[in-house]
Structure 1
Amino acid sequence: MKKLLQHLVHIRPRWVIAVAVFLLGVFFFVMTVNNVYTETYNIERFSKANETIRSPITIENKQDTERKTRETVQSVGDRYHISTEITKERLSYVEETFEAVAKVEDDAFKSGKQNPATSISGQEKVGRLKQILSPEITEKVDDGLFYELLGIKESKRSAAKGLLISSLETVLNEGVRTENIKVAEAEVKQSIKYSSLDKSLKEPLQKLGEFAVVQNSFFDVEKTMQARKEAASNVEPVIIRAGEIIVREGQTITDEIYEELELVGLLNQERNVFPVIGLALLILLVVAVIGSEMIHLFKKDQLDKRKIAAVLFISLIVVVAMKVVSLFSATGNPLFFAVPVATGSLLMKQLIDERFAIVLSMLYAILGSVIFNGQIPGLLNIEAGIYFFFAQLAGIIFLINIKDRLAIIKAGGGMAVVNTLTILLFLFLSFEKYSFSDLLVYAGYGIFAALLSAVLTIGLLPFFETGLGILSDIKLLSLASPNHPLLRKILTEAPGTYHHSVMVANLSETACEAVGANGLLARVGAYYHDIGKTKRPHYFIENQVSIKNPHDLIDPFQSAEIIINHPYDGADLLKKHKMPEEIIDIAEQHHGTTLLKYFYHKETKENKNVSEDMFRYPGPKPQTKEAAIISICDSVEAAVRSLKEPTKEKIDEIVASIVKDRLMDGQLNECDLTLNELDKVHQTICETLKGIFHSRLKYPNKEAN
């Protein structure tokens, strides 16, 4: 890792970002390509399958759909139109026949009653009957049937009429087609045959029924076509689902199976190119967003080569974790619930930036939806993507008020709750029924993932802090502990410097927070900025208690050399204790190239030709906002402390003078503090100092009483 960082040091930051984005793109592509690339097979018809083959895509089998539609249409029977006019007509003929028979019989009875000698014979009755009946009846019914009907008594004839009409209505209403006329006639005859009528009545009724039964149902072209269209439209398409088994190991490759394999593209190697192109476009979009965010951070001076390396390693950890778990996942076993994906977001927030952590969380979720797609091209596991996003977002939201590593464990508890709620959301939205044991198992996955994310973050954080030298808030808080060996060294060896450093820390933190800089870094940097004074503590005025000033005994050049060396002595001491570079830089830069005016003017009294360069710190000048603000606060605190009566006006005047002096001397040229921010720093420092040196009531002494 150190060799990688040393190599990156010599590359321009924008090129480092470009290389990092390229490496991420290649890595993401390698991790996900087998999720979209489908293996193709060289299979012959009627051979044995060497393995179970599943469909990589969801597609309609149009050939089977057409066959199914054709069979369904063919199964639709012809539609017929039953003519109610014909039905009424045939029933009316039967009624007409019985009414005519009754009329003839009634006329004959009346005539015989008036003149018995003129009784009507049977032949004459038939003749009269034929005269009053419709031609359709007389042409189709022979005279023998009329003779038989005329010979039936009126009471029996009425019962016979009712039975025949009922039987005919039943048959004709069902529809009589040409091909089933005989069947319809037989039905009428059967109903008469098994009735309770006299045998002498059954035969003439059967003949009359045979006459009445005719075709009244005719083929309806429009209804038939409409029925077939409706049947065809209701046919469900034959779909081959992604993941569906097409052929099992050892099964014979029939023509139908071969066609399905060909349809889903398992026999066509060229078809695999398109999913890979689609994946490449997705990866391109993902890394473009990452690159854009990196450039945004770089412009804000919040991204360096160490943090770029951290992004690479964190991405490696998160994506590899998802990939490994996906290898053991199966349908019905959502192991993605147990992936500690929030580790990445927790690390990103602490090591880099909250916004960057949120963006990366979204991108990791997208990659997770690809990785957990069951290696089915074109499919994204939306459940996995949503779960990963909420799990990571929960980690970012709950990781607040970082005072120690216990804050990460607390964030893990919050993530466990969010993970469980998200899992329950999926289960309740599903149509499938889950047992209580399933709910416990899946919720257990979510809780495990949250706690494991917290544990991994705690375990990996020192790796990034030490291996890459990235300064996290937790690291800063540990360095701010009064029990730190170097702070105890300042307290015991240079107590005045320690008090001065604490005051500078208070001023610097407040001022940095006012302009959006890292207040915690400024506080900790201020604690250690003067640690070089512990090498010769008595040469610095704040540590000269009840002793004579040693500078009175040496010449100004020697005094200047001692004073000027303290930032670099401190930097060397911090390097020896492997302190973060940001703290070392603050210690080294907090005096910039300022002039030691006291000793310079003291020397000019003896030697007017002395050069200022002999009494200036060699630098470098402050490179960051934090270092620049500490340099101002360092001078302000020392100057205000020297005042006997620090009034508001005097404080404001001193702060303004020091800020102006730093600005005019060019000490702030290499940091990105703006004039507007300098004005805010000025106001904040004044307000803080006024709060510290507020006016107190003067209590009367005993003598005054």
Structure 2
Amino acid sequence: MSIVKKPNGGPQVSGIRPRKKTVPAAGIAFLFISLLCLSVAASVQFENSPTVYLAGEVAERDIQADQELRVEDAAATEARRNEVARTQPPLFDLSTATIDVLRANVNATLESLRNLSADRHETHRQQLAEMLNSDISTRTFDIWRTPVFATLLQREVLPWLETRLASGVVADQRILLQERNGIIVRDLSSGSEVLREDLRYVPDIEKLEKDMESFLRHDLNIPLRMRRAVTDMLFPLLAPTLTLNREATTRRTQEVRNAVSPVYYRLQKGEIIVRQGEKVTEDMQLKLQALVSQKQEHLSAPRVAGVFLTALILAAGLLFSHRTGSFSFKSSKDIIFLSCVVLAFAGMAKGLDVLGAALAEGKGGDSFELLPFLLPVASAGGLIGLIFSFRRCVTTSLLLAFICMAMMDGGTDVMLFFFLSSVWGAWVIRRAQTRQEVVWSLLPLAGGILALWCGMAFLEGSGWARFGYGLMLASANAVLSLLLIFALSPIVELAFRYTTRFRLMELMNLEQPLLQELMVTVPGTYHHSLIVANMVEAGAKAIGANSLLCKVAALYHDIGKLAKPEYFIENQAGGKNKHNKLAPSMSALILLSHVKKGVEMARQHRLGNRITDIIQQHHGTSLIRFFYQKAIDNGENPRTEDYSYPGPKPQSREAAIVMLADAVEASSRTLNEPTPSRIRGHIETIMKNIFAEGQLDESELTFRQLSMLTDSFHRILAGIFHQRIEYPDAKQGQRAASQEDKSEKKKQAVSQQPEKRTTLIAVSDRPARPQTSARSGEQP
């Protein structure tokens, strides 16, 4: 269907004219605070800490782990660290300072001997004996004073000795016997470190002395007296160049120990730690202490952040429209209601979790782990389905399932059960048209919940006892869900002033006093409302709007005509048009008053805000053009405000559908020879004019939905105006009657033409302007 074209003739592909959106700040803030509080509550542990028995005590009751834990095995960890520490090589420092000291002492001794006077021989010998801590004979002292001895030391012995000392000499070889992993040699002069694994060739002082004697005897072939003179001077001056650095070794060993990861063993959820009457071992005590320490972590900040951020992401899918990307809520009341539903059932989930923990305290088995399947989340989906669309039920159910899962510290299987149960509850309730059908919906509701449990139990491989216990809980879940829906729906209607599906089902009953009054007092308006109700129901189903709300609103949209029914042509039954004797302003005032009166009657009969809003909006702010033009023709200077409906314009798709169907049905009565093509052209013309006036600017209808509404309206009206076949025995009578009707119409065509035009405008109570069908070329 072509509704509007751009000035250049090209189609306009965007939706209805954009309108300024208002952000429901109060509702969003309430939801934000609610999710934050629920995230904190989901991270707080309310369970009582188990009793910690010491090793050697006898347990008075069974204690089992209510969650999966990792417990550090202190003994195994210490054993592993000791093992790693034993493999750590010690650190030995290689210092060349010892060689420098040795050379300096030898040179100083030789220098003092060369400069020694004859009268001080004995004194100096005694001093050297004390310094070297050895007995020095007179003959040895004399050899030291010879130039040959000095040359031998400086050119032969000291270079060999320095080379051996530079490679590393320890004080005692026995300190290396226990180091089977080698040693780390750190050169203090360069800072480099080398691992020496073969310690057999690392000499000590004693070995160095033997090697020196062998060197002097075999390599240098020195006489015995000279060898003794050399060893007497050098042996007392020898010192180890390779020494153990105990501080650094201890520090490095501790670092290696700390680098060893602790040894854990996993404590499975439901595992019995200690049984009644059993003697507690050290391992059992360790497990109990770990369980208590875990429960003492009352609040986990990372968990709070994780739950809150995930909940915000899910809430974004609820708040924003999938079509426009803007806020899908117009008022804060709807967001606050959905937040209250989430809060209420999250509180129930936490309470059930605490109850299950209290019942499971001191009892074996895992029966109480199935208590989450008793939570009647299907009633939450049913309550939301009584008011909102199915899509909003799905998005809210996803948020609710996640919050309840977090409250009960469940897994993905629990969340999946909550989500599918809530969606199933919404779907079942939305299909029911009466309260009796809602009662009978217990069967499919219970069947769906039982099927969900069976599927999860089969996937999990539960035993028969656990399976039967779960079936019992799932059955109780379905019964509780239905009872909660019946119990809470009146509270929701009263507290939030919602018109639930239950209330809409009651109002749709044609035995309602207000509908009975319409049928008896204004049968023409009643028949018009019935046709409009059929049209809007078909149109709403086509575009996915609330068909039940549209149908009920259509039945009541013209109840304001009960005040002055004779001024509307459908109720005159061939009588004279009373508007012919009234001023245009008075006629317009009567037509305008039926909307105001309808709103008053809707509030008086408690039809609900949503139906009252549609009654108030079903004419928008349109102008009653016929009487406005008539006033101009009478020489008046009328104001458009006096001839326009007060509005507001339709604020929802449902209100816009009722407006369109009302205008199309009322004006379709003026069609001559209503063929299917003329009916379609007439529908398109009416809808195009309403759109051009801007009456749909504040609704959320798109061009595609308008086209779908055109098809639905055409299907209904084409069925009403279908042609009937002529029966053979009635042809003559019909022809005669037809001729009489035609002659009568021709007689009245000239004399009553103005009155007839006035009547048509009064029938439709639409913006009364001359309209030309786009296809038939006739005036409606």
Change (3 A) 1:503 1:542: same
The within-5 A match list for 1:487-636 is: 487-636=515-664
CA–CA distance in structure 2, aligned partners of residues 353 and 682 of structure 1: 22
Contact 2:71-2:287 at 8 Å conserved across structures: no
- Name 1:306's counterpart in structure 2: 333
CA offset at residue 242 of structure 1?
Answer: 5.2
Contact 1:262 1:268 in 2 (8 A): no
Of structures 1 and 2, the one scoring higher in RCO (CA 8 A, sep 6+) is 2
Per the TM alignment, residue 620 of structure 1 is displaced from its structure 2 partner at its CA by 2.0
TM-score by length of 2: 0.59
Q: Which of residues 478, 484, 490 in structure 2 aligns to 1:456? A: 484
Structure 1 residues 401 and 266: alpha-carbon distance in aligned structure 2, compared to 1, 3 A threshold: closer
Name the residue aligned to 1:191: none
Secondary structure of 1:657's aligned partner: helix
**1:304 Cα offset (Å):** 3.5
SS in 1 for 2:650: coil
The match for 2:36 is 26
Larger deviation, residues 12-21 vs 525-534:
12-21
User: Aligned with 2:597: secondary structure?
Assistant: helix
The CA RMSD over aligned residues, in Å, is 4.1
* Pair 1:425–1:574, CA change in 2 (3 A): closer
Instruction: Work out which of the residue numbers 499, 514, 519 in structure 2 matches 1:486.
Output: 514
Residues of 2 paired with 1:516 and 1:359: CA distance? 16
Check the 8 A contact 1:321/1:340 in 2, yes or no. no
Are 1:283 and 2:312 matched, yes or no? Answer: no
The residue type paired with residue 509 of structure 2 is S
Assess, with a 3 A threshold, how the Cα gap between structure 1 residues 23 and 671 changes in structure 2: closer, same or farther. Answer: same
Distance 1:45 1:441 in 2: 37
Q: Distance in 2 between matches of 1:420 and 1:268?
A: 34
Q: For residues 351-500 of structure 1, what are the structure 2 equivalents within 5 Å?
A: 351-373=387-409, 380-381=410-411, 384-399=414-429, 401-424=431-454, 434-435=464-465, 440-500=468-528
Write the letter of the residue equivalent to 1:290.
Answer: A
Q: Which blocks of at least 5 consecutive residues in structure 2 are unaligned?
A: 1-20, 82-262, 361-365, 737-780
Please state how far the C-alpha of 1:566 moved relative to its aligned partner: 0.8
Once residues 425 and 579 of structure 1 are traced to their aligned partners in structure 2, the CA distance between those partners, rounded to angstroms, is 43
Q: What do the CA deviations read for 1:185-217 (whole angstroms, capped 9, x no partner)?
A: xxxxxxxxxxxxxxxxxxxxxxxxxxxxxxxxx
Residue 332 (structure 1) aligned with residue 367 (structure 2): yes
SS of structure 1 residue aligned to 2:493 = helix
Q: Which residue number in structure 2 is paired with residue 696 of structure 1? A: 724
Tell me if the contact between 2:402 and 2:415 (Cα under 8 Å) persists in the aligned partners. yes
Q: 1:323 and 2:342 equivalent?
A: no
**2: CA distance, partners of 1:488 / 1:47:** 82
Q: Mapping of 1:39-438 within 5 angstroms?
A: 58-65=69-76, 238-241=265-268, 263=290, 266=293, 275-296=300-321, 299=326, 301=328, 304-329=331-356, 330=360, 331-333=366-368, 334-373=370-409, 380-381=410-411, 384-399=414-429, 401-424=431-454, 434-435=464-465
CA distance in structure 2 between the partners assigned to 1:52 and 1:356 by the alignment = 47
Query: 1:511 is matched by which residue type in structure 2?
Result: G
1:421 and 1:568 mapped to 2: Cα distance? Answer: 52
In the TM superposition, residue 293 of structure 1 has moved relative to its aligned partner by 1.6
Q: Which amino acid counterpart does residue 320 of structure 2 have in structure 1?
A: I
- Work out whether residues 50 and 63 of structure 2, in 8 Å CA contact, stay in contact via their aligned partners in 1: no
Give the counterpart letter for 2:648 in structure 1.
P
Taking the aligned partners of 1:290 and 1:683, their CA distance within structure 2 comes to 36
How many residues end up aligned between the 2 structures? Answer: 521
Deviates more, 1:575-584 or 1:297-306: 297-306
Which letter does structure 2 place at the counterpart of 1:295?
F
Aligned partners of 1:501 and 1:530 also within 8 Å = yes
SS at match of 1:35: coil
Q: Which moved more, 1:239-248 or 1:672-681?
A: 239-248
1:447 CA drift (Å): 0.8
Q: Secondary structure at the match of 2:686?
A: helix
Q: Secondary structure at the match of 1:59?
A: strand
**Cα distance between partner residues in 1 of 2:408 and 2:52:** 27
- Paired with 2:315 and 2:388, the residues of 1 have a C-alpha distance of 13
More helix by share: 1
SS in 2 for 1:13: coil
Aligned to 1:15: 25
Identity fraction in percent: 27
Q: Structure 1, residues 304-350: CA drift from partner, whole Å, max 9, x if none?
A: 43321221222123222222222332243333333222211222233
1:268 and 1:346 map into 2 onto residues whose CA distance is: 37
Q: Which residue of 2 aligns with 1:661?
A: 689
Q: Aligned pair in 2 of structure 1 residues 296, 631: CA closer, same or farther (>3 Å)?
A: closer
**Which residue matches 1:637?**
665
CA distance in 2 between counterparts of 1:389 and 1:674 reads 31
Deviation at 1:58, TM superposition (A): 1.3
Distance 1:429 1:674 in 2: 45
| 1:343 partner letter | S
Task: Please tell me whether the aligned partners of residues 57 and 264 of structure 1 are also in contact (alpha carbons under 8 angstroms).
Answer: no
Task: From the superposition, tell whether residues 16 and 545 of structure 1 become closer, same or farther in structure 2 (CA, over 3 Å).
Answer: same
User: Contact 1:307/1:470 (CA < 8 Å) preserved in 2?
Assistant: no
Q: Residue 255 of structure 1: CA displacement?
A: 7.6
Deviations 1:475-495 (A, max 9, x none): 322211111122112112211
User: Contact 2:621–2:648 (CA<8 Å) still a contact in 1?
Assistant: yes
